Amino acid sequence: MRHFSDPAQGRHAPLRELHNGEWMDYAESPARFEAILQALGPGEPARDFGLDPILAVHDPAYLAFLREAHALWRAAGRTGDALGYVFPVVARRPLDLERIDARMGAYSMDVSTPVAAGTWAAAYGGAQSALSAMDAVLGGDASAFALCRPPGHHCGADYMGGYCYLNNAAIAARAAQARGISRVAILDVDYHHGNGTQDIFYEDGDVLFASIHAHPKNDFPFYWGHADERGAGPGEGKTLNLPLPQGTDWTAYAPALDTALDAVRAHGADLLVVSFGADTFVGDPISHFKLTREDYAAMGARIAALGLPSVVVMEGGYAVDALGANVAAFLGGWD
Ligand code: OKP
Ligand code: ZN
């Protein structure tokens, strides 16, 4: 399978994050990107498809802000990474906010998503990687891998969150639709629920969003990913959430995967986007499932057996030493 990335994706390097109330090193590190490149080889450089396909998903004002947030932070005399800390959760309404802190809060769902010097360039490069992988598949490849980093599935049309700034899977899916493939399925197998992707397609009847993840009663992002979230309006029934308990291993994971794959078939999808997180790995430092490298090979093979043109987009996975081999094992399922 061909794979795509942009060197700028290594330039997003926030210093630290809040974890259980303490500061710790930022888990979504540039080393993740290097580790996957190391295992897969250099691959192909992403092509630049410009801003238009990103604007098909994201709000223009959000993009403009994301692009300048770090410079505004510096202009306010700040050192370190830009981070919001007040969130307009109640009765959010349009306000002409000026202060950088206020704007960071207004465009964030949490404090896991600092904006550092290289953030825009890295997120933009990752989105172009997703578009390049999609272009390869639309051009006839059976599958392609977008080595996206930072990940994308937690951010919505106008907010960042959970290490995510641009929703790469959504951008790829919309690009397929722009090229005439209307029925798309997005299968999210990251440990965490892809709340941003769900949000973007919640009322869309053409795009199925199916996700297997840690039950949000225990894990990030808590407020989304519950089984009773099933889509709305024309998208009613086109969101499928399969939350699983902490400690889940392949014996319990495989049946949920089969349920999700049945839904992809029932949707009549012409193309599949897989949001792949290797944070379901038994050795992941911030997650609590028990999948092994062999399980990733089996998972990849089962998904590949759908026989759909597939774009695999990288999401999480924080056991850096095992990450490259885990990704390779998953992608090997398509061989
Ligand atoms: C991103 B992806 C713990 C605080 C919460 C956010 C987790 C985002 C996961 N350090 N961190 O789905 O792998
Ligand atoms: Zn995750």
With cut-offs at 50, 70 and 90, classify the pLDDT of residue 90: low
Residue 161 Cβ < 6 Å to ligand 1: no
44 pLDDT higher than 60: yes
Task: State percent of the chain over pLDDT 70.
Answer: 99
Q: 163 C-alpha to center of ligand 1: Å?
A: 6
Tokens 């630290």 found at:
16
Give pLDDT tens digits for 259-285: 999 999 999 999 999 999 999 999 999
Give pLDDT tens digits for 136-173: 999 999 999 999 999 999 999 999 999 999 999 999 99
Give pLDDT tens digits for 167-222: 999 999 999 999 999 999 999 999 999 999 999 999 999 999 999 999 999 999 99
ipTM higher than threshold 0.85: yes
Nearest to 114 by CA among 22, 56, 224, 29: 29
Specify whether the backbone of 97 is left (phi greater than 0), alpha (psi in -120 to 50) or beta: beta
Q: 68 C-alpha to center of ligand 2: Å?
A: 27
pLDDT value of residue 89: 67
Give pLDDT tens digits for 95-126: 888 999 999 999 999 999 999 999 999 999 99
Ligand 1 atom 1: residue of nearest CA: 162
Average pLDDT over residues 13-41: 96
Q: Higher-confidence residue: 93 or 171?
A: 171
Q: Higher-confidence residue: 44 or 84?
A: 44
Distance CA 99, CA 73 (A): 9
154 catalytic residue (yes or no): yes
326 pLDDT higher than 60: yes
Q: What is the DSSP string of 157-179?
A: TTBBBTTBSS-HHHHHHHHHHHT
Q: How far is CA 7 from the centre of its chain?
A: 18
Ligand 1 atom nearest to CA at 318: 13
Nearest to 312 by CA among 129, 144, 136: 144
Residue 284 Cβ < 6 Å to ligand 1: no
Ligand 1 atom 7: residue of nearest CA: 162
Domain ranges within the chain, ordered by starting residue:
2-334
Distance CA 208, CA 201 (A): 8
59 pLDDT higher than 90: yes
Identify whether the C-beta of residue 191 lies closer than 8 Å to the C-beta of residue 316: yes
> Among 70, 154, 193, 215, which one carries the catalytic annotation?
154
With cut-offs at 50, 70 and 90, classify the pLDDT of residue 94: confident
Q: Are strands 271-276 and 310-314 parallel, antiparallel or unpaired?
A: parallel
Ligand 1 atom 6: residue of nearest CA: 162
Q: 280 C-alpha to center of ligand 1: Å?
A: 12
91 pLDDT higher than 60: no
Residue 192 Cβ < 6 Å to ligand 1: yes
Task: Classify domain 2-334 at the CATH topology level.
Answer: Arginase; Chain A (3.40.800)
